[in-house]
Amino acid sequence: MTSPNDTFIRAELVSFARDPGDGDSPEPGSLAHYPDGLLWLKGQHIHAAGRYADLSPSLPYGADVVDYRDKLIMPGFIDTHVHYVQLDIMASYGRQLLDWLNDYTFPEECRFANHAHAEALSNAFLDEMLRAGTTTAQVFGSSHPGSVNAFFSACQKRQLRMLAGKVLMDRNAPEGLLDGAAGIADSERLIEDWHGQGRLGYSVTPRFAPTSTQIQMDAAGALLRNDPSLWLQTHLAENSGELDWVAELFPGSQDYLAVYEAAGLVGPRSTFAHGIHLDHGMRKRLAERGANIAFCPSSNLFLGSGLFDREAAKETGMAFTYASDIGAGTDLSGFGTLKSAYQVGQLRGQPLTAWQGFYGLTHGNAKALSLEHHIGQLASSYEADFVVIDPQATSLLSRRIQHCTTLGERLFALMMLADDRAIYETWAGGQCQHRRDG
């Protein structure tokens, strides 16, 4: 049955049914690639995705098929760690983490006490995400609950699948950002108002151990115990100055991760940003609890934090995801994140294949966030969140692509050379939400 709700798009389709492995070619059964494919949408969902020749006999007579045969469609990109409130301080010069937080980040986040500012930045941020092809993200607000109300309202209007939370921070920050006991009560209210509403989910968000007291972290842990469907996002082991500070503040703790473990913050829905300075034992404990590390390569290069060790993660079975970490990250684009991940990998002797990169950015990130039954694939019954990529977007890209003979080569060229100009359209919830000018 077709209805006016149906949309048909003919294009090359690329999606991953599972992890393609580390080889030069994807493991059998992992890649779904239809060079001449058809994406059939019904309302907010994908009804079918497959070979045009197989699906076209089922199309209604005179169906209006959008012809994107010169374009490539992939699932919408997912960003597992990003601060919307830091959009306007991206590229603030020349500091490492703790100075950067004090000099640029905290003053900027103070501005989110103003609701009109939070609304304007929520919309500006979502415009930029969609321009970059990102359809889902796990997002930090500021410590003001209004920052999250503004953000979720903007997401709801666009029917986006998003996770977000209000930062919890009751010490070691400017007065205007400290929430005290109200932090947990405000989080509870936000959870009640937004968690599970449509496509929205709440992430409990203690900023990191140095800015929360033990009391606040324990209370955050209690929220998670009361409702296991909540997510948790924070930072872990990013920078050496931060490690020294945590050791000083928690002298009784075995290591940094143990601080979060003691508060009950480490579980299968927990994302810890960075995880650069971890030892084998911490990686193993994260793996055992099913938590994931958000690898934020452009941020790690920008703040000089260090080079994430993907191989050590794999050896211990610790899950990791790909993230921008705006505003320390320098690139909202998923392509840019993969390019930086490749460069970090090269400096560690761990080059990243395009298969691993694009699997990670889509299905891999969805799986680590427990969203793999909703998003991350072009397949029947998944939510219709996808990007239409124009491989001819720039003259340089077009020249390079002409020299490629395989899909692997083309994806790698996109990973290294593409940016938001290559995102021709971004669709979320079955609607085209961004179309490139021209």
Applying CB under 6 A, the residues found at the interface with ligand GUN are: 83, 97, 101, 105, 207-208, 235, 238, 299, 325, 328
Minimum CB distance to Zn ion, residue 233 (Å):
9
For residue 205, what are its two tokens?
């968000």
- Report the candidate in 305, 326, 83 with the shortest Cα–Cα distance to residue 207: 83
Minimum CB distance to ligand GUN, residue 113 (Å):
17
Choice between 143 and 299, CB closer to ligand GUN = 299
d(CA 394, CA 97): 35
Contact partner at residue 387 from Zn ion, ligand GUN, none, CB < 5 to 8 Å by partner kind: none
Minimum CB distance to ligand GUN, residue 262 (Å):
19
Choice between 137 and 352, CB closer to Zn ion = 137
- Report the candidate in 398, 382, 295 with the shortest Cα–Cα distance to residue 15: 382
Residues in a beta bridge with 72: 12, 389
d(CA 21, CA 167): 36
Choice between 97 and 263, CB closer to Zn ion = 97
Say whether 334 sits in a helix, a strand or coil: helix
Contacts with Zn ion by CB under 5 A: the residue count is 2
Minimum CB distance to Zn ion, residue 234 (Å):
9
Choice between 257 and 328, CB closer to ligand GUN = 328
Stretch that binds Zn ion, among 64-72, 319-327, 332-340, 383-391 (CB under 5 A): 319-327
Choice between 34 and 100, CB closer to Zn ion = 100
Under rule CB under 5 A, residue 273 binds Zn ion: yes
Contact partner at residue 71 from Zn ion, ligand GUN, none, CB < 5 to 8 Å by partner kind: none
Minimum CB distance to ligand GUN, residue 302 (Å):
9
- Report the candidate in 69, 134, 196, 207 with the shortest Cα–Cα distance to residue 366: 134
425 in Cβ contact with 436 (< 8 Å): yes
Residues 320-339 that bind Zn ion (CB under 5 A): 325
Minimum CB distance to ligand GUN, residue 245 (Å):
11
Choice between 241 and 317, CB closer to ligand GUN = 241
- Report the candidate in 137, 81, 77 with the shortest Cα–Cα distance to residue 294: 81
Say whether 311 sits in a helix, a strand or coil: helix
d(CA 324, CA 336): 9
d(CA 177, CA 109): 8
13 in Cβ contact with 49 (< 8 Å): yes
Say whether 316 sits in a helix, a strand or coil: helix
d(CA 208, CA 260): 9
Minimum CB distance to ligand GUN, residue 362 (Å):
24
Choice between 344 and 418, CB closer to ligand GUN = 344
User: How many CB atoms within 10 Å of residue 306?
Assistant: 16
Contact partner at residue 378 from Zn ion, ligand GUN, none, CB < 5 to 8 Å by partner kind: none
Choice between 20 and 206, CB closer to ligand GUN = 206
Minimum CB distance to Zn ion, residue 182 (Å):
23
Side chain identity at residue 179, one-letter code:
D
d(CA 310, CA 331): 20
DSSP structure class, residue 383: B
Contact partner at residue 371 from Zn ion, ligand GUN, none, CB < 5 to 8 Å by partner kind: none
Stretch that binds Zn ion, among 269-277, 307-315, 358-366, 405-413 (CB under 5 A): 269-277
Contact partner at residue 105 from Zn ion, ligand GUN, none, CB < 5 to 8 Å by partner kind: ligand GUN
Residues at the contact surface with Zn ion, assessed by CB under 5 A = 273, 325
